[in-house]
Structure 1
């Protein structure tokens, strides 16, 4: 079956003439097929170059309109170039013996109709594309293993919605461009219908332009080669401050006002980094749209509690984290619950939950091993995997974003490091602390109806329930314990800000005093050593003098001339007797006037 492809500019009269001739052939010849490609005049040259390069016709056509070729199989097969309009007419006459005589007015009218139809088609296509508004999602350190584990979840509809298109921007340094191109190829091979665009960018301004969501996976670890702990913290926090200040300025200038920013990099003090971003992005961005991720530690706590109860960690809810995620924080299981119980005597529908306090009777485990495993779990995973727990981190990011955009169960609560617009639970206004939150589609709110003293009392009296006589004392102790915790967290957050700017004055004075004390100790040791050496030298000199004196005495005894010389020397020397010396000094001299006696 013969197939002719006719392509040309929509306003070209020669293209219209070839099109009419092909229509006539299709009517009269049952096995003749023609496919027409109308191209807008402004896009014609680019289209011709791509088509010629695709078929290898670089030197066989001058780029004029129309372009006609023959395909031996269905559309898409390798084509044989025929030429332009005159070449096509000659081919039809030689093959089928047919000519078509058309007036100039008919050809021009057809060309005008083609242009009008093409413009209408392009307008409709633009309107259709305008209705498709993909969510622009920028991932920093986009070639990292965590990012590659995260991408499939972002474009399968589970994170932003089943009908929400996504445009991914893989951001990383220019040195990792080849790896970034490989990530883009992999995303294309996934062939997700929701992924409207994916591209690698190294420019921050391009990456954050009109972004709807920014996931900051930047990892900044402390320099372990610095021995002094204060200097190591200062070095680390100063790097974090400089890096996130730059990111905050770029996001402020280029991202949308409604952009949501999630801080979740490894080795980064999340509370402090979130605070730096808020200081640099607000008020252009809303402070409640810049948060630090706490789900990584929350998932660890749920997994440990679920393992203790013999259930899946996904059925454990309302495990709260309070405070500074990179410093002093509290894991609160007072309100934790378990759903979808099947192996206990008390069961119910999917919404029915039981408190974990009814299922975990080992209170010593909650106070000891549970909290210690919370600190060592990540290191255990690293030692077994020989790398960071990338899948767990990616799952934590995905769950946080899904809850933030789609909402979560109204009865379940989660955790975020968020900015406080007013004092809450004892924490200061303007601080960034981890608190329980409720997620709604596109937003969240802080849970404000919790009695934190109950948690402190429960942790203190896990082994035995308090009596009525000690209830007031326990409540007072719980309040004091909570205030001490809040004070400790607030002090840590202030110290982080001070260390990021420079060494605190107190630390500098103590360090200089320590160095001065060490110098004095070293100097005293050196003086003692020199004194010991001096004593030894003086002792040696005295022994030498004694030996020399003994020799001189022996020689004097043998020489009769020395004795009279010695007697003369004694007469000339002053009297060394102190009494004689005082008498001599008391005698008046003739040169000095003596005071009159009273």
Structure 2
């Protein structure tokens, strides 16, 4: 099976003619493959000289056509120019055709236009990041953090941040803040380069052609009526779904990172979209970061040795941080047998210190103490600065995107609100914060093998699920909220019991 390569200058009529013929044959014949290699005039001479030296050829004009057998990268067999290519095509495929000169000129012109468009698009490789509700968090810090993620700019890709906040048209201070942010970052770009930050007057325009959509809007209830507020949230998600279906890419990464009932919002958005958006997630890991500090103070374990705890539940409705099932890295002394008989003061090595992962459960007597400590610290911080803390949220966004755009899919397990697939008996389709892992197709999926050792943890997860199902069901988002749940949960509890529910407590008694 031959593989043809056609090299030439974009505005060369003979090159355009050869490409036209090869394209025609590739459409008609299943085993005809070709690729074209285009070089601008100032690159052509150098390229041709290197090609002749490599293959001991003596070609001197465009196009140069050769074939390789069986696969690309094999031995090159020179065919020649356009006339030799036509002779080859006639002998092997019986194709003959006469194309008038004016048609050849048109082909060359079209090919040149296509080449110019391709070069322009390659020169400006852009990844668009839409930030909705950009006035809620400190967007300048967020943009700076994202610019430091090298994998987002891999392959010479430029980041463009598209800011929008629905308050900007009614609150002058919000507009001024966004405008100052744009002026600051755009002033640092090179002369003649495109803007790094752009302001938009509508959410639909901001989301158009965006690869990442960060929703930072505040969805906290502004009045006491929870039902009315949730209905308003549903309406807002239906409006957002309309904008997404019109403007957004189907593979866009949609990240809810604001405040309020975010898992409910993500579920409502998913239900409202008539087409599937597989990359909708809710930032939840930030809820667990303060618990690491509090647990370190309570147990004396250094912070860098403690993993982020899993956040369970529907954010903004009912959730909790499972600090007892967080892992920490422990140093364990393992003595040698000779240590039993070695004389006092022996200089021989009597053992080795190794590291292992352990659960925090046996170190924490009462998780409620840590929860109250985090609550008090959070309240003190908010009273001191007059707003909610931002940096846990910003850190969680940055870590998520680092993992999502990593060169290789890792084995990290993080807390994230994702669409349930039935794991942990969360109803399918409901967005629920749980341990997740990145699949090979780079979609976040629940990590169903995460160990649940403690009865109290399973009980609280069940309460979160029941509460979320009740809220979602009453608002018409989930169907059959009570269908077979208790029986399924009992079966799941039995399964966990069979694999050793109390092993962790027995191990360290």
For the superposition of Structure 1 and Structure 2, which TM-score range results when normalised by the shorter chain?
A: 0.5 to 0.7
Q: Offset of 1:486 from its aligned partner? A: 4.7
Give the match for residue 184 of structure 1.
Answer: 182
Q: Offset of 1:321 from its aligned partner? A: 2.0
Could you say what secondary structure the match of 1:160 adopts?
helix
Distance 1:311 1:189 in 2: 45
Which protein has the larger Cα radius of gyration, Structure 1 or Structure 2?
1
CA RMSD of aligned residues (A): 3.7
C-alpha contact 1:318 1:335 (8 A) present in aligned 2: no
Aligned runs of 1:125-144 on 2, under 5 Å? 127-130=119-122, 132-144=124-136
Q: Offset of 1:148 from its aligned partner? A: 2.5
Could you say what secondary structure the match of 2:317 adopts?
coil
Q: Offset of 1:145 from its aligned partner? A: 3.6
Q: Offset of 1:242 from its aligned partner? A: 1.7
Tell me which protein shows more helix as a share of its residues. 1
Give the match for residue 466 of structure 2.
Answer: 491
Could you say what secondary structure the match of 1:257 adopts?
coil
Aligned runs of 1:434-453 on 2, under 5 Å? 434-439=433-438, 442-452=442-452
- 1:390 and 2:393 correspond: no
- 1:271 and 2:263 correspond: yes
Q: Offset of 1:335 from its aligned partner? A: 4.6
Give the match for residue 236 of structure 2.
Answer: 243
Aligned runs of 1:331-346 on 2, under 5 Å? 331-333=321-323, 335-339=325-329
Structure 2 unaligned blocks of 5 or more: 1-107, 334-350, 478-509
- 1:256 and 2:253 correspond: no
Give the match for residue 49 of structure 2.
Answer: none
C-alpha contact 1:419 1:431 (8 A) present in aligned 2: yes
C-alpha contact 1:302 1:313 (8 A) present in aligned 2: yes
Distance 1:131 1:353 in 2: 49
What is the CA deviation profile of residues 531-556 of structure 1, one whole-angstrom value per residue up to 9, with x for unaligned ones? xxxxxxxxxxxxxxxxxxxxxxxxxx
Cα–Cα, structure 1 residues 183 and 418, in superposed 2: closer, same or farther, change >3 Å? same
2:289 is aligned, of 299, 306, 309, to 299
Could you say what secondary structure the match of 2:423 adopts?
coil
Distance 1:248 1:296 in 2: 26
Could you say what secondary structure the match of 1:368 adopts?
helix
C-alpha contact 1:156 1:162 (8 A) present in aligned 2: no
Tell me which protein shows more strand as a share of its residues. 2
Q: Offset of 1:233 from its aligned partner? A: 0.9
Structure 1 unaligned blocks of 5 or more: 1-115, 227-231, 460-480, 503-598
What is the CA deviation profile of residues 134-164 of structure 1, one whole-angstrom value per residue up to 9, with x for unaligned ones? 2111001123343222010122234625544
Number of residue-to-residue matches in the alignment: 345
Cα–Cα, structure 1 residues 293 and 207, in superposed 2: closer, same or farther, change >3 Å? same
Cα–Cα, structure 1 residues 385 and 455, in superposed 2: closer, same or farther, change >3 Å? same
Provide the TM-score with structure 2 as the length reference. 0.59
Q: Offset of 1:318 from its aligned partner? A: 5.3
Could you say what secondary structure the match of 1:321 adopts?
strand
Distance 1:166 1:186 in 2: 15
Q: Offset of 1:252 from its aligned partner? A: 2.1
Could you say what secondary structure the match of 1:143 adopts?
coil
- 1:355 and 2:347 correspond: no
Aligned runs of 1:124-523 on 2, under 5 Å? 124=116, 127-130=119-122, 132-158=124-150, 160-163=152-155, 164-173=157-166, 174-175=168-169, 176-191=174-189, 197-224=196-223, 226=224, 232-266=225-259, 268-286=260-278, 289-310=279-300, 313-317=303-307, 319-333=309-323, 335-339=325-329, 353-357=356-360, 362-365=363-366, 367-406=367-406, 410-421=410-421, 423-439=422-438, 442-452=442-452, 454-456=453-455, 482=458, 484-497=459-472, 500=475
Could you say what secondary structure the match of 2:277 adopts?
coil
Q: Offset of 1:215 from its aligned partner? A: 0.5
